[in-house]
Structure 1
Amino acid sequence: MTAFVLVPGAGGAAFYWHLVVRELERRGHEGIAVDLPSGDPDARLADYVDAVVAGADGRTGVVLVGSSLGGFSAPLACRPLQAVGLVLVNAMIPTPGETGGQWWENTGFEAAISGAAERDGRDLAADPDQRETMFHDVPPEVAQAVFERPFEQEDGIFADAWPGTWPDVPTRVVATRDDRFFPVEFQRRIARERLGTDPEEMAGGHLVALSRPVELVDLLIG
């Protein structure tokens, strides 16, 4: 049995992982989804890392899985949790000294998302709340369950420079081919530039834990 500590992205809701937790448990593994202090205007990067460690509830030797913004906090929890692996899923991959606020310009995010939308014939201006960008492949009933929950993301986590060096644990990068927010070609480039690796690719959009939980678990435990 492997214990997977599951770190959500913006909004910080453990609920994002509920289908993955169910599938991991069905297969005899443990999924521990953590809530992050995303609604706290005073919470900084260290507070997010502390929340991940606290959410593990004393477990060590875990595999950490970080989605999207979780790419900033999950790697920093590897040492205190004595992690045996790290998986980044459609994640922001930081470099030492870079803030979350700087990441967008440093990586060329705006050109990537705009270029992918233009290629696909989509109008980003017509999707101001990003529901089509984020939820286009999420089943309607699952998306509705998410929409019924409050979404809060304060900016404190974006202000702190990412400290230290990359954790010395086996690290995998997972990118989904249908991601409209972090297009797959963008993720390939960032993974190669920052970690010297090619991502493992699968079908699905940015919120793949909601749209394809079974396939994601196949990959996590594979």
Structure 2
Amino acid sequence: MNEARLVIFDLDGTLLNTIADLAAAANAALQANHFPVRTQAECQRFVGNGINKLLERALPQGHKTPQDVANMRPAFFAYYDEHLTDQTRPYPGVKELLVKLQAGGVKLAVASNKYQSATRRLIKHFFPEISFAAVLGQRDDVPVKPDPAIVEEILWASGAQKQNVLYVGDSDVDMQTAHNAGVRVCAVTWGFRSREELMSYKPDFMTDTPAEIADMVD
């Protein structure tokens, strides 16, 4: 990569292990609406496409309707906004990677399908020492990933060219987002999807540890 190197990170399952708090919020919403709760393993399969899709997937058969999802949203947000850092933690080695990349002059950004306010709060809470070029989550006026709009917005904000960009994520959604945006992609194996599933999307790189990502940028 040349000047204006940029690494775009997914959030959930890539920078932060958020699944316990997401599952707790989903179950709080299910209980508030008198539906059976889900296991954390089930919720891990439900995440990746935004909160509405998480809630739709968590609902039982026969109740996956727009109205049922809308009914679930207030309880989900009320719980998650109060508890989003209870059990969430950065994955081992992530902070060290971000510090190293920043020290090396690499621009950093976050592209998430988590709603914007929670995305910004989590980044500020766990990575206060990192100056991100952009921290973007799901917003009503922007299509969710795998639509490439969020990547295009980050490219505009950072001034980076596509050939100098590496997108890092843990899910099929991330692989598709990078491919749709025309940027290189690294699949991480510590997140919410299996190595086999990630391989089927033919990422440019795959890694088991954050430290290896620094070498991909260099």
TM range (shorter): 0.3 to 0.5
The higher relative CO (CA closer than 8 Å, separation ≥ 6) is in 2
Per the normalisation by structure 2, the TM-score is 0.36
User: Which is richer in helix?
Assistant: 2
Per the normalisation by structure 1, the TM-score is 0.36
Larger radius of gyration between Structure 1 and Structure 2: 2
